[in-house]
Structures are given as C-alpha cells and as structure tokens.
Structure 1
Amino acid sequence: MENRFQESLTKSGRMSITWELIPGRGAREKLLDNALLAAERVAKDGRIDAVTLTDNPGGNPAMLADYLGQEIMRLGVEPLVHFTCKDRNRNQIESQLYALDRVGVRNLLVMTGDYPVSGFLGRPAPVFDLDPINILKLITEMNDGLSYPGPKGVIRHNPSHFFAGAAVSPFKSTEAELMVQYLKLKKKIKAGAQFVVTQLGYDVRKFHELMMFMKQNNFNIPVVGNIYILTYGAAKQMNENKIPGCVVTDRLLAEYEREKSLPDKGVEARLLRAAKMYAFMKGMGFKGVHIGGHGVKYDQVLQVVEKGEELSSRWQDFIPEFDYAQPGGLYLFKKDEKTGLNQEVLEEVKDRPLDAPVGVIYRMSRVVHRLLFEPDSSLFGLMQKICRKLDGSAGEKVFHKLEHLAKVMLYDCHDCGDCALLDVAYSCPMSQCPKHQRNGACGGSRDGWCEVYPGERKCIYVKAYARLKNYHETKVLDGEIIPPCNWDFYQTSSWMNFYLGRDHSAERFGITKPVEQKQVRRQEQPQLAM
C-alpha cells in the first residue's frame, strides 16, 4: 500500500513537505473544523505530502491525534501523527498502535511529549511508562511481526507497516545537554527510527551540525528540518523559556520586535525568513521540511515553499542572517570562518568546565559500586550468597527496609525494585526526572535546567554527564538501550533483584538466576500475555 509521505522522503528526489495542524481542545470546536477544512485544501491541491497532527501540545488536553488522523485519511491526505510517550502506560501504547495499524495510519513521529500542565479539576497525574527509544523498539518489533509467549507457545502477529521517526534538538547551549541529545539520537536510530525531525530552533550552524553528525556516524536516514513561522507573542514566550525545548535568542527576538511595527505586523518578513530556512535546508541536504506556526494559512505554506525553491540556488547567501548563537553555547564542530558553517573538525571539550558539580555522594557511590556491584569484585560473590540466603525468608523484609532507607537518604529512592542508578551515574530517574527517562534527556531542558523545574533542579542527564566526564567515562551514556522499569519488582529489594539476576541489568552484567530462587511475589500469579 502506497505511503506518500514515506516515498517523498525516501524515493522522490525532491523536498518532502509537511504542514503541522493543532487539533485543539474539544470535539466540535471551530479550531478543529478549521483543521479539517485545511486538510481538504491539502487534498485538492496535492503539493503537501502529509499533514502532521500534534498530541496534547504544551501538556494540555486536546482532540486525540489518532482519531483526527483517520478523518484526514478519509479526505485523501496522508497524516503524520505525533506519537508521544505521555499519559498512557505500555499496554495502552501497544493497544493504540494496534488501532493505528488497523485503520492504516502509518506515519508516526515518536517523542517524549510535554509534561502535563492542566486538565479537568487540576493537573493530571504524569504517566511516562515508556520512553521514545523503547516505543521505537516496540514499533520495530511490530513491523517485523511482534511475538510473545502464549498458553500454547509463541504467538506471532502479522507485520505492521509503520514509518516511525524521532525528534532531536541540536539547539542546546551546554556541553552536557548537547552531547546527551546526540547520544540519545544514536539510541533512537539503533531502536529503529526511520527518519529524524529537528525540534524548534533557528541557528543555521546547528542545522548544519546535525547533518554533519549524521554523516560522521554513517546514519543514512532522512532528516527533516522544522520551520516554525513565529508570531511576536510566540517568539517572546520561547525567548523567556515558557515553551520548553524551543529556542529563540535575544537577537532573533529583537528582529521580531522591529518587524511588528511594520504595516503588515511583520507577516511578510516572517514568511521570507521561513523561505530562506527552506532554501538553506535544501542546500544542506535535508530531505524535507516540517512547516508549522499558530494561525498559518495554507496559502502561506505554499508561499514559503515556492519562494524557498526560488532562493535555494543561492542558499549560502543567507547564512549570515541566521547566526543565532547562544551566549557561551557549544557547537559540536569548529566554525568555518569562510562559510559561516562548520568544519569537519570536532570541538575540543575535555577542558571545558563541568556543567554540574560531581558531589561527595557520587564519589562515595563509585567506591561502594566498585566494592559491591562489579561482578568481578571481591565482595560481589559474598553479597550474592547473602541475597540467596535471604530470598524468601523473614530476613528479606528487614534487608529490603535497610536498603530502602539508605537509598532514600542518598538518592530519594522511590522503591521501584528495578534500579537504574547504575545507568544514570547514580541519579535516580524515578524520583529526580519528572518524565522517568532512562535512556537520555528529553528535549525540554534549557541551560541545564529541567523543563518542569527551571531554575530549581538540574536535568539528571546534565548531572550524569558531568559526573561521568569528570572520570572520562561519558561512553557509559552511549551504551545499551535501557529497558523500562519492570513493575513486577515494585516495592521489592532492588539489590536482591540485581544480585539474583532478576532485574534489567542481569543480561548486561552476565548475572544468572540461581535455579533454586523463588519467584518475585507478583510473578507467582499467571500473567496475561502482552
């Protein structure tokens, strides 16, 4: 079955064009009707390859993008659904994917999603059970034919046909944030991402940096550039970090302030800026553009595309206009003073100051880790014997309480039982990351601060990167894909689950389960197949 969006990125030899629509809150509201009318125009005109649909942007409730995608398909337009990790657990995510596959909605942009902000009778409970990397793994397995144990052996599904991509933000200012974004992108591609879309930013060197990173790592998947047509109000909010993950520098905001005094309030200037972005993206080798913006009309989208094509032959002329560097910000590659872009020479970062303190607790944790948790350490075998002896006995509860008490004081442990401290340089993703990310930071941080607690709490991956850099061990973050928390182990001893080969670390460390060990209490009951 033909997938126009996929073919436009992988086979057409031209720029793929997508246009972002925001469904909004409500079922029969004007904003939703306008979105469907816009999709009708797209269907009749035929120059747009897909309409992208947001999923509760800003952490506010809205019409389900999945359902709207079905309506848009019936109009004859290919939908690209923003598939976020928030608001549902892994079973609901799997169910949602089955439904999308059933109705033929195949194009997905997999993202972490915005932290919930508002809802009926107050802020809703945040749910971040799977991260984008593990959702991409699930989609990859579904495309291959998902298999799982059933009552009479392995059950295997018919393959799905999803075309799933991932987002990345090269627009980070600190070393830790930038490096972690690229390390996480590696994991996303390893997990099966079939295309990449940039988050929102305007710095030309950063767009070029991403393309060079992809080339340097031999990642041969399409990259789509994000062209967001800003209003002055949106630019001001982004400049003040009121919309997480979106970068508008003081210089760019000053341009918008000048333009808003023009007779047309700066509309033509904004559209020309977007067209120039289209031109330099095409010149750099981007395979497509993702055009969005509040209140942007279809005719304006076409104007950007047509003007962008016209300007694309002299795209390098526009590079100086998009020099929106952040003060003290890091670039992955050295600057090419002749072109204004990047050289194929990596910036030297080893002497840059750390973006977060290492701290006494982490230093102490490393010592304890070497003594107790390295399989080749002298005390590992002793701890394993103690755990085998205590497993299922009256002493297990006492052991668990002592362990939990120590970890609460040191790491604010939430007693998940499937501990990821080893994976995030002894920062707990369950208590210290509001989105419970185990494979890298989301795109919402700014200047090292957590999206949810700006100015109050550092992103745990900024802390993890700084700690590991201090010991020349940042490759730890470039390693295995970490599975999600296994809730079978909730409120059980994570140390016992580690030493007895039950938790997610067992395979990596080569820890085998003792034949005689008891099952964790929640595994004693029959489990429904997933």
Structure 2
Amino acid sequence: MSKLKQALNERRFVCVLEVVPQQSPARLVALEQIVQRGHLAGWPLLPAFADRVGPHSDLSPLEGAGAFGDPASSLLHFSGKDRERADLLLQMESMKARGLEQLLLLSGDRLPGHHPDQAPVRYLESVPALQIAREHCPDWLLGAALNPFKYREEEGGAQYLKGQKKLLAGADFFTLQLGFDAAKHIEAQTWMRAQVRMKPMLACVMRLSDKRAAVLQAVPGIVITESMRELLGREQQVSQAYASARSLERLALQIVGLQLMGYAGVHVCGVHTLDELLSLEHAIAEQRDSMTSLTDWIERWHASWQMPGAPQVCFVPAIGAWEMGQSDVAATPRERLRYALLSMVHGQLFSRTGWFSRALGWSMRRPIWKVGVAADALHAVERTVKRPLVGCDTCGSCRLQETLYVCPETCPKGLANGPCGGTRLNRCEFADRECVHSVKYRIAKSANQLPVLAQTLIPCIEAGNRHRSSWPEWFKPEDSTPGR
C-alpha cells in the first residue's frame, strides 16, 4: 500500500508537494532533495506530478516521476484537456508497468490557443475519467478536484452537485483548488460531512507574495481580491524581507488551520528548494505549538492579514457573497418556457412510449440510415433542426434529456456532467458567456430536477462517434431501458 493511501486510511495528516516537471536540471536536483527528505514537520511528504499546467516544453507527469526514479508514493495528475479515453488508458498502462497506482483526475484549465469561435477542443472530463480509471484499475487510489471558492448560488451549487457525481464515479479523495477564504474551506468540510460516501480532502496551499498574487489573479477559479493585493503591496513596500516573513507565516498558519478544520492534508505548491521547505517547517512548528483551538486560529488568521493603515482585507469578491445553504435564484420565465417546450417535444418524439415515438423509432432503426448518403442526410437534418434551438454540434449521442435541454456542446470544453472550477461569478472561464452549467442549475432548481445534476453520470463521447445523427443510436433496442 502506498504511503498516501495508508495515511488517508489511517487518518494521518499528509503533505503532497506539487512538482511541475520541467527540463531544467537545476530545478530537478533541487526538487529531488525535497522528495528524498520525505517529511514536513513530522508529516509524510509525497510528490505529485502536475500535467499540462505550463508550456508545452514541460515534461509529462510520467517523465517527471521517471526523473525521480518513479517513487511508489508518487501521485500523478491527468488533465483531460484535448484528451480522449485512449490517452487516459495509455497513461494508466505506463503507470502500471512502473508500479505507480495513484492518479488525480482533472478536466483541466483552458488549453493555450483555444478560442471558442474556432475549432472546438473537447475535454475528457473528470467524471467519466474516474469511471474509466475505476473500471480498469479498481484498487488504485483515485482523486478528483473540488473548487468551493464560489460566490454565486448557481456556480457554487453546481460545483457541489458535480462533487457528488465524482463520489459516485469512484473518487477516493478530493483536492481543493487553491484558495485563502477560510469560511469556504469550512463550508467544503461541512458539505463533505453531509455526504453518504464521505471521503478525505486535501487543500491546495501556496506561499502568496505580491508578485504571485498578480499572476494568480488571472488564473481561472482562483480568487485574489483587491484588498488582498493592496495588503501584499504594502508589505512589499516596507521591505522584501518583511513581505517574505509575513507570507511564510501565513502559509504555515494556513496549513495548521486546515489540520484543525479536519482536512486530511495539504497539496503544497510553489516550494522549490530544500531551504524553503526547512523554513516552512520551522514556521509550522512555531504556529502549531502556540495554537489551542480553531477559534484561536481564526482570530490569528485574520490578524495575519492586517497591517496598520491598510484597509480591512476581504476574501470575498466585492459583488459576491453566496454561502452554501442560501437559496434565492430561479430560472427566468424564458428559461422555464424553453425547458417546458423542449421537454414536451422530447416526450412526444423520443419517449419510445407513444405511438408516434414508436413509429419514429422503427424508422430510425432501418439500415439505410447507418451509412452513405442517407446517413449524411440525416446528420444534416438533425444539425439543421437542433443547432438553432440548442447549439447542437451533433455529438452522435444526444444527452439533452440528462442536461435539462442545455446542450453540453455549448460549453467551450464540452463538459456534460457539470462545471469546471474556472468560473467566476457565473461567468465562463472563457469570459465570453455565462457558464451553461449555471443556466442548467437554475432550470433544474425550478423544475425540481436538482438530483439529476448529482446522480446522473454522463459518459464521454468518443471522437470517432461525433458528427453523425444521434437518432438511430437513441432508438437502438439495447438503449430502451429506464435511465437512458
């Protein structure tokens, strides 16, 4: 059993160090010293190799782990952006051959150069990726991501509903997005404790400097407020040494607080040398020895974000304040009408129960529609009818019934099971639209269909099956069971 799996099973706090595999020999040597040390402040310290977070010249997670001798404790990431089932299975086979059995499955952030108005880029999203991985390697340790740092009901509610899907799909643990809002860390723990299948969670942490904050402010899904930036800037104006000491103190304090909240561990980013690790270890020891309770920690955490003459730091965006449990949004009249009409049409044409639907099903099962000119013509007809109505891209396996008639093809990433972590106040990571999953949440709430967003696991679409009519597939006899 791996050290990470053993620590999670035994409920021992654990530290995972994120390694962004790079070509730099000097960087690899420095990180190898950290990995060989193997502990931080008495806690196990294990390497995690990131996937597709930097330039294309970066190494893959497999190459990164190989550079360190493939330690069995390694947690490899798999990013689904511009990937298919075959890519995941290929990585898993290579991992299996090297004795690596731990995988964090992510949909991934925006692929560099991807613009929604150009050729679509499809993502193997985390829910079906978890199902695929669990089916092929039932004993592996599988993780998924959760981003609780959401400040609108739609995006926050949809994020937690997708989290429930990830549990159903086989996630053994969650890793949270990087964040600094302690109230949201507590909120995520409250959500997990309410689940039937409660799993351990790790929280992503990073030493935050003014320079890093400027970069992170542009990273989708990470919340850095202007008041945080102002404080960090003022600290930097005092001196570099002062700002560095304060940022180290906050990182150590946050790690201690997360343990008090009940987190299973932390996912540490941005530590690149052994000297940095040893400084962090010393700071953790100082904070841990003087801490008595979570209440004490909360006071000290807020105090660490104060400075004479600086305005009060707020971790919540200026125009957002939603907390889990608040419920005051509803679908617009237009959204409700659209759902009602499309639901009615679907019932008449595709329910497989009425005489007209059965007749349509009989005609769609004719061999003529499978190949050649007739298949192309049927594809063209479906696309012509559905694209103006729902934005259909004829994926070949229509999922509209499971997505409240909000077509997942209108998501720039093609996500069907729920949102990615990159939304901000309901806006898509690509910033050109409202997140379609926020729209879907409002409709589901108004139609009393929220359980659908938590319980219906929608499989991925294989690339070879796209751009054809979904109607013959819909009416195949083997698909005519409840739950289609």
Give the aligned partner of residue 220 of structure 1.
198
Following TM superposition, by how much is the alpha carbon of 1:490 offset from its aligned partner in structure 2, in angstroms?
2.8
Does 2:138 correspond to 1:139? no
Give the aligned partner of residue 234 of structure 1.
212
Following TM superposition, by how much is the alpha carbon of 1:448 offset from its aligned partner in structure 2, in angstroms?
1.0
Following TM superposition, by how much is the alpha carbon of 1:16 offset from its aligned partner in structure 2, in angstroms?
0.8
Relative to the length of structure 2, the TM-score reads: 0.86
CA–CA distance in 1 between the matches of 2:227 and 2:332?
25
CA–CA distance in 1 between the matches of 2:401 and 2:290?
51
Aligned counterpart for 2:91 among listed residues 90, 96, 100: 96
Q: 1:386 to 1:249 in 2, by over 3 A?
A: same
Q: 1:377 to 1:473 in 2, by over 3 A?
A: farther
CA–CA distance in 2 between the matches of 1:497 and 1:8?
46
- Other structure's SS at 1:248 match: coil
Give the aligned partner of residue 252 of structure 1.
228
Does 2:248 correspond to 1:271? yes
Following TM superposition, by how much is the alpha carbon of 1:313 offset from its aligned partner in structure 2, in angstroms?
2.5
CA–CA distance in 1 between the matches of 2:447 and 2:419?
20
Give the aligned partner of residue 5 of structure 1.
4
How many corresponding residue pairs? 463
Please, which runs of 5 or more residues in structure 2 have no aligned partner?
303-313
Q: 1:202 to 1:500 in 2, by over 3 A?
A: same
Q: Deviations over 1:302-354 (max 9, x none)?
A: 2354244324433322325456233432111xxxxxxxxxxxxxx241x3355
CA contact (8 A) 1:69 1:105 kept: no
Does 2:469 correspond to 1:493? yes
Structure with greater proportional helix content: 2
Q: Give the aligned residue type for 2:58.
A: A
Q: 1:509 to 1:290 in 2, by over 3 A?
A: closer
CA–CA distance in 2 between the matches of 1:202 and 1:352?
26
Q: CA RMSD in A?
A: 3.0
CA–CA distance in 2 between the matches of 1:252 and 1:78?
35
Give the aligned partner of residue 165 of structure 2.
187
Q: 1:355 to 1:229 in 2, by over 3 A?
A: farther
Following TM superposition, by how much is the alpha carbon of 1:390 offset from its aligned partner in structure 2, in angstroms?
7.2
- Other structure's SS at 1:328 match: coil
Give the aligned partner of residue 348 of structure 2.
371
Does 2:404 correspond to 1:425? yes
CA–CA distance in 2 between the matches of 1:355 and 1:40?
56
Give the aligned partner of residue 381 of structure 2.
402
Does 2:444 correspond to 1:468? yes
Aligned counterpart for 1:34 among listed residues 30, 33, 44: 30
- Other structure's SS at 2:293 match: helix
Q: Give the aligned residue type for 1:285.
A: G
Does 2:165 correspond to 1:171? no
CA contact (8 A) 2:152 2:426 kept: yes
Q: 1:290 to 1:355 in 2, by over 3 A?
A: farther
Give the aligned partner of residue 81 of structure 2.
86
Aligned counterpart for 2:49 among listed residues 49, 53, 65: 53
CA contact (8 A) 1:101 1:162 kept: no
CA–CA distance in 2 between the matches of 1:475 and 1:44?
41
- Other structure's SS at 1:57 match: coil
Does 2:315 correspond to 1:324? yes
Q: 1:325 to 1:399 in 2, by over 3 A?
A: same
CA–CA distance in 2 between the matches of 1:87 and 1:142?
21
CA–CA distance in 2 between the matches of 1:277 and 1:485?
40
Aligned counterpart for 2:433 among listed residues 457, 462, 483: 457
CA contact (8 A) 2:320 2:425 kept: no
- Other structure's SS at 2:17 match: strand
Q: Deviations over 1:354-412 (max 9, x none)?
A: 59962765453233123222344453223223323574487655444322211122223
Q: Give the aligned residue type for 1:410.
A: L
CA–CA distance in 2 between the matches of 1:67 and 1:200?
25
- Other structure's SS at 2:459 match: coil
Percent of pairs identical after alignment? 25
Does 2:11 correspond to 1:17? no
Q: 1:18 to 1:262 in 2, by over 3 A?
A: farther
Q: Give the aligned residue type for 1:260.
A: Q
CA–CA distance in 1 between the matches of 2:246 and 2:333?
40
Q: Deviations over 1:159-186 (max 9, x none)?
A: xx52111110111111111111111111
Q: Give the aligned residue type for 1:485.
A: I
Q: 1:289 to 1:426 in 2, by over 3 A?
A: same
Please, which runs of 5 or more residues in structure 1 have no aligned partner?
145-160, 333-346, 511-530
CA contact (8 A) 1:5 1:16 kept: yes
CA contact (8 A) 1:418 1:486 kept: no
Give the aligned partner of residue 301 of structure 1.
280
CA contact (8 A) 2:352 2:361 kept: no
CA–CA distance in 2 between the matches of 1:424 and 1:114?
22
CA–CA distance in 2 between the matches of 1:126 and 1:298?
42
